[in-house]
A = this chain, B = another copy of it.
Amino acid sequence: MKTKEKTTTNALEILKHRYYKLEKHRLTLEEARINAEAARLIYKLRTEAKLSQKELADLIGTTQSVISRLEDDDYEGHSLGMLTKITAALHKKLHLVTESVS
């Protein structure tokens, strides 16, 4: 037997729900922003080092298609591990910095 759907029944719940959606949206935007930041950082480091994707790939022991994927603004799979391999290969140190948001 199918149970009745739970519905939002009062103003407070409605407001909470709206806030939750707002928060979820803010998170989505934040994730898109940081993904793009990572992609552009990799592109910037590689081009400043005057390397092709293939050359950078060889340096860190992977393939060109992987580098291409990492430089895609929409790629969502960035890991600290990969970022560290790249920055270390190019003789840079990576740091994580946070900024307060008002």
Contacts and interface: CB of A to CB of B under 8 A. Distances in A.
Contact of A80 (B78, B88, B95, B101): B78
Number of identical monomers bound together in the oligomeric complex? 2
Contacts of A100: 91-93
A13 interface: no
Contacts of A26: 88
B93 A101 contact: yes
A87 B79 contact: no
Contacts of A84: 27, 30-31, 34
A80 B34 contact: yes
A45 B98 contact: yes
Interface of A: 26-27, 30-31, 33-35, 37-38, 41, 45, 76-81, 83-85, 87-89, 91-101
